[in-house]
Structure 1
Amino acid sequence: MRYKIKMEKPFIKRMDNLGKLFHLSNADTADARETIIDAIANLADGKELPEGYNDRILEKEPWIGYHEFHVFSDLLVVYYKVDRKNRIRMITITDHEELTIGKLPD
């Protein structure tokens, strides 16, 4: 099953500014981008992410039903999967602290 990927504005903004927002080196920024792009390709193809991504469905408000996976230990990608429409919405890139607060970053 093939999924259509929609990238929300916060996701695009954070993807464009990964290094600055998360204090990453140039090498880590490039690695994070490559990892995220590869993960999106797998999700679009309907594949499960490799175990190292720790992909899981979130269970606490306000994120109930959203998915998140790890790029690095404290760099997370949040997405929402709508199986009946074959669509995945890439919501944001965040860290554990922001995720715990529960507010979508701008």
Structure 2
Amino acid sequence: MDTITGHYDINVLAVWGSIVTGNGASHLKEVMATMDAPSLSQPAFTRIEAQVGASWECISQDELLAAGAEERRLAIEDNCFHQGVPAITVVADGGWSKRTHKHS
């Protein structure tokens, strides 16, 4: 059993794989049918998807805060300030996602 979701590890990993490849429950069902293996129901997929997403959000938030603290420390160490505030350079590619899942 997965400690994050309480579901069997293989189901969590199947949903995880579907999410990161930009697919959903119906695609997973097609893949599993091709392998003549049972698949998850739509409600089970959605439940696990929500739990995995919540886990990713917590982990991402912790990682972003840690990275921000490290950048702040480096800016102070390099004496890089803007109006008395430690300054860091932020680069964004300005890309716009073409593929999405459950968003418009």
TM-score by length of 2: 0.26
Structure whose alpha-carbon radius of gyration is higher: 2
Greater fraction helix: 2
